[in-house]
Structure 1
Amino acid sequence: MLRSLRLASLFGLLLVNTGCGERAPTSLPPIGKGDYRAVIEHLRQSIPEQMRKNHVPGLSLALIDGQELVWAEGFGLADEALHMRVTPTTAFRAGSLSKLFTASATLQLVEQQRLSLDAPLSRTLPEFRVRSRFHADARSANDAITLRRLLSHQAGLPSEFLPRLRTDDPLKYLPQKASGLWLNNPPGTQMAYSNLGFALLGAAIERSSGQPFETRLQQHLLQPLAMEHSSFVGNSELQPYRARGYLQGQPSSDEEIRDLPAGGLWTTPRDVGQFVQMLFAQGRFDGRQLLSQQSVAEMFRQQNRANALDFDCPIGLAWYLGPCGDPRIGPQLQQWQHSGSTGDFAAQLSVLPEPQLAVVVMANADTAEALVSEVATQALRLMLQAQGNQLVCPRDCAPSLPPLAAAAAPSPHDRQRLAGLYASPLGVIRLKDQRHQLFAELGGKRVELLRDSQGWLRAQKKLLGLWSLDLGLLEQLQLDVISVAGKEVLAVRRHGQTLPLGERIDPGPIPADWQASVGRYRLISPNEREPLLDGLTLRIDQGLLLAQGRRKGETLGEFVVQPLDDAHALLAGSALGAGNTLTRHSDGLRVLGYRFVRSPDQDAGLQL
């Protein structure tokens, strides 16, 4: 998962359900040099209580120090109905940790000159083509989609191709099916997280190697790394050592995943630890060179240094080269990491490359994402002490925020500048200048924003300015609107790092054809299991065209639609999912491979 999305989710959760959400970091005991026993004992004591508070049935972790597996252990239940306990050999869905293995397999083929990092994807997958409003012709658009940009989420592709996401469709058919998608943004200018991009990399691995993705990964990466409980194939019922995932306390349906290279890996923290040991050894494991030193170095070289819109989130080839909104372990300490989430599972891999320390944490619930991140941070800090390093910042490396008591309402000019509508991954965030105060509004709830003594906007402990309210960690987020790359970006600052949260969108003319498209739509997708959306609503509010998705009767976030012409419109903004192109047709709307037609029960009351 992308860290800016996690920040957006945190902001939204706390704004809508004030006082809840992510907890303050746990205090850690002092650890003597070499005393890994004390590290293990502390984690054994603290993890079960954290699992209970977060309603997580099962968790597993592994600690790695250079070429040594320090500890691997399981906690809780892999399957509540069967009372099956988690052990070090219990496999979990790794989610987007899968991308790290797809990147490694890609680099192996680059070394063999079967693929080239800077060659167009179309050289390997000629049936995949893109449409672009950023290029003069189709050829230049397709040539801009390189493997390097796919590996660093800079290819400008949409985040998903939606039809049949949760199926076992062969990967080889995806390039043809997804061909013709519109680019979301200009390639090479912005990091925009894309599962589709990594699925296409998997198809390129199959095509260039002549082997199915699973076979290739098993023979050239997983088996050489002795990852005995790891595979990209199947669901939890395929192997008895796989955990069951949980959603809202109930077992998940555990559907197959089409985009295996992006999120399909089943593995254990111990197995992932052996992958990390290979990277610590410059690509060598058990006497065999699996990746060249040059490939390992390229994987961890920052690829987005020139992208102003990425703010404080550096990325290499698949790896995040900074905490990207998570706590820093040390002020000058390099920190590589990646998280993974499939909804019913969560995982975190955090690495300190200089002391060669790593932690892998995996859990089996939709409530586990913050927990696995916090446990990984705690464990790394404890391990640093065990290596003989004094913790410069035992809890958080970010400087303390100034007290809100000294904060003041923004000036009239400041409020006027800030007021507006901002498109974010959560939906529409509104900053409103009312009664000489500035409010942030999302999902029907709002808080007042004040300027602190550092010049950042902060939420105060009042709802609607009337009564006291505990905002929890929302008070620790600083906000402001920053002009960058020709955009007005609502940025959030946390743990001393600044990341984009939303982009200002001003009302514009809505063509008559799009005005006539206002209404309710239903999904037409034969044989679709568990669609991401099953309905869509378009409405006009305060001069803006808004789209809101539906799934199983539940309304999802609302997003601004910006018409380009009579037939095409964009989901506004520059965050995850923004830039997607909606196309009008005589029978309805198309977006990311989904086809929507008007619902028979749609009514004209949707235009306000």
Structure 2
Amino acid sequence: MKKFALALTLVASCIAVHPQDDKTNYDEALTLIEVWLDAQKDFEDIPGISASIVEDQKLLWSGGVGLANQETQKPFTGATLCSICSISKLFTSVAIMKLYDEGKLRLDDRLSDLLPYYDLKQQFPESGPITIRTLLTHSSGLPREAGYPYWTGPDFPFPTTAEIDAKLSEQESLYPASTYFQYSNLALTLLGEIVAEVSGVPYETYIQQHILNPLQLSQTRPEMPKDLYGSDLAIGYSAIGREGEREKVAFFQANGIAPAAGFSSNVTDLGKFASWQFRLREGKTAEILKPATLKYMQSVHWTNPNWKTTWGLGFRVYKGPNGTTWAGHGGSCPGYRSSFEMDLKNKRAYSVMINSSGTNPMKYVMGMHAILSKMSAKDDSVKPEAAITSKDLSQYVGYYNPKPWSSEEYIGTWNGDLVMLNLPADKPAEAMTKFRHIEGDTFRRVRDNGELGETLTFERNAAGAITRYIQHGNYTLRINR
């Protein structure tokens, strides 16, 4: 795979947008995030990754690494479109709750009352009713899928709405309603049909007019734009095979399953979607939804009997790594993985899109969050007597080769110190080591308690360029990347 070139001293301008934050300068953390994403893309043999980070109403960063189309070498950027698959469910959920706000339906309305043609067999006579609420929380007991093999390649034969409805009578419930969490694309598909039935306009029209247009989400669609496939819309690739290959996945259109899995978007638009939610949660007036309604959606409405799965109204709601409430959703469709996650208290959101299956976008969400949190947290390792060096640290920035012991190291700057990041790293914040300037080309490791540890000394060639460093009596060469 062709390497994504990083100009180390200008990494931000190469692949990303960095609007300046008024409170904390995140530039060094964002540079480290870009380096980390680029390395992970190569080490995991991923075609392309895009990501964005939003803090309340500000886009802190948006960028991409790798390729949207391997045949044409089309770069993957923050503007690249992908299938967002199950993140589509959030737009369907917002549409349902807008109709709720308008008094056109209630959360305890029965599915069978809203869709007169609904005739899926309830095999548990003791079951409670299947309602809007149980559909939104995946506790309805409905099957996971409609009665077609649409996740089967190579053609992915997604049914139309009419075809889905025609086979309802051949399906039956899996559990009594309100008994277990059972993730269901069929449930959210039927909610999309309810949007159309109650509003009196096609589902796609309602979403466009009442959600996408007001929020100016111009790159979000309730479909996959076939005319943009391979250019603005990334080509999807398969999970990696035993021989290390990823195959091109055929283009698909979710058709009648669109309310559950059919949308396309990019990380920049999802950032706008997050900013709207942060704005609305703090507001006093309605903007598509009432503020109280969105907060209600992002509260826990279902806890599974094992206490491990919690869900809101459409949103996955859970305790995040900092102990605060997070809300969001992931997506997995043929050739694409995505994740959209919001730290509601700190008003920070992360979006990740990958154009290959068998990958883990949530790892990148949490990795970015951990790096930024490390930058914004109080740094106990900085002693009051520790002066910030006047040394030009940029001359040490670059990649180093520790083989055979590990794959690669990147040395960058971090709050007046150097930071070494071991690559690849599933948890990048835990793979960072800081070094403080002592004199000349000598640094010392900064321990977690702020004490200084072993030395790291850089060496130069006759022209004065850094060529390697010595640590614990052994050498590590600098490399070009």
| Range class of TM-score, shorter chain | 0.5 to 0.7
* Residues 50-449 of structure 1: pairs in structure 2 closer than 5 A: 50-135=40-125, 144-163=129-148, 165=150, 166-167=156-157, 169-171=159-161, 173-238=163-228, 240-247=231-238, 248=240, 249-258=246-255, 259-282=257-280, 289-305=287-303, 307-309=304-306, 311-322=307-318, 328-330=320-322, 332-368=323-359, 370=360, 372-388=361-377
The CA distance in 2 between the partners of 1:390 and 1:199, in whole Å, is: 48
Which amino acid in the other structure matches residue 333 of structure 2? T
Q: Secondary structure at the match of 1:346?
A: strand
Deviations 1:331-363 (A, max 9, x none): x32222321111310001121111111110001
CA contact (8 A) 2:122 2:173 kept: yes
Q: Secondary structure at the match of 1:214?
A: helix
The CA distance in 2 between the partners of 1:71 and 1:383, in whole Å, is: 11
The CA distance in 2 between the partners of 1:191 and 1:169, in whole Å, is: 25
Count the aligned residue pairs: 346
* Residues 572-583 of structure 1: pairs in structure 2 closer than 5 A: none
Q: Secondary structure at the match of 1:281?
A: helix
The CA distance in 2 between the partners of 1:289 and 1:183, in whole Å, is: 37
Q: Secondary structure at the match of 2:183?
A: coil
Bigger shift: residues 228-237 or 149-158: 228-237
Would the alpha carbon gap of residues 231 and 34 (structure 1) be closer, same or farther in structure 2, given more than 3 Å must change? same
Structure 1 unaligned runs (5+)? Answer: 1-32, 392-472, 474-608
The CA distance in 1 between the partners of 2:301 and 2:190, in whole Å, is: 19
CA contact (8 A) 2:147 2:164 kept: no
* Residues 27-66 of structure 1: pairs in structure 2 closer than 5 A: 34-66=24-56
Q: Secondary structure at the match of 1:41?
A: helix
Structure 2 unaligned runs (5+)? Answer: 1-22, 151-155, 241-245, 381-425, 427-481
The CA distance in 2 between the partners of 1:315 and 1:228, in whole Å, is: 29
The CA distance in 1 between the partners of 2:55 and 2:122, in whole Å, is: 47
Deviations 1:169-191 (A, max 9, x none): 44255334323521101111111
CA contact (8 A) 1:235 1:255 kept: no
Q: CA deviation at 1:122?
A: 1.4
The CA distance in 2 between the partners of 1:387 and 1:216, in whole Å, is: 41
Bigger shift: residues 265-274 or 226-235: 226-235
Q: CA deviation at 1:133?
A: 3.0
CA contact (8 A) 2:281 2:295 kept: no
Which amino acid in the other structure matches residue 135 of structure 2? L
Which amino acid in the other structure matches residue 294 of structure 1? A
Normalising by structure 1, we get a TM-score of: 0.54
Q: Secondary structure at the match of 1:360?
A: strand
CA contact (8 A) 1:95 1:262 kept: yes
Q: Secondary structure at the match of 1:198?
A: helix
Partner of residue 463, structure 2: none
Deviations 1:501-542 (A, max 9, x none): xxxxxxxxxxxxxxxxxxxxxxxxxxxxxxxxxxxxxxxxxx
Would the alpha carbon gap of residues 367 and 55 (structure 1) be closer, same or farther in structure 2, given more than 3 Å must change? farther
Deviations 1:269-296 (A, max 9, x none): 11011111111112699x9711111210
The CA distance in 1 between the partners of 2:43 and 2:193, in whole Å, is: 41
The CA distance in 2 between the partners of 1:115 and 1:179, in whole Å, is: 25
Which amino acid in the other structure matches residue 29 of structure 2? V
The CA distance in 2 between the partners of 1:158 and 1:261, in whole Å, is: 16
The CA distance in 1 between the partners of 2:266 and 2:371, in whole Å, is: 22
Q: CA deviation at 1:72?
A: 0.8
Q: CA deviation at 1:130?
A: 2.7
The CA distance in 1 between the partners of 2:73 and 2:86, in whole Å, is: 28
Which amino acid in the other structure matches residue 382 of structure 1? I
Q: CA deviation at 1:297?
A: 1.6
Q: CA deviation at 1:48?
A: 1.1
Which amino acid in the other structure matches residue 310 of structure 2? P
CA RMSD in angstroms, aligned pairs only: 2.4
The CA distance in 2 between the partners of 1:62 and 1:155, in whole Å, is: 34
CA contact (8 A) 1:172 1:203 kept: no
Deviations 1:123-156 (A, max 9, x none): 22111123233215xxxx6x71101100100000
CA contact (8 A) 1:128 1:176 kept: no
CA contact (8 A) 1:329 1:380 kept: no
Would the alpha carbon gap of residues 284 and 83 (structure 1) be closer, same or farther in structure 2, given more than 3 Å must change? farther
CA contact (8 A) 1:384 1:390 kept: no
Q: Secondary structure at the match of 2:331?
A: strand
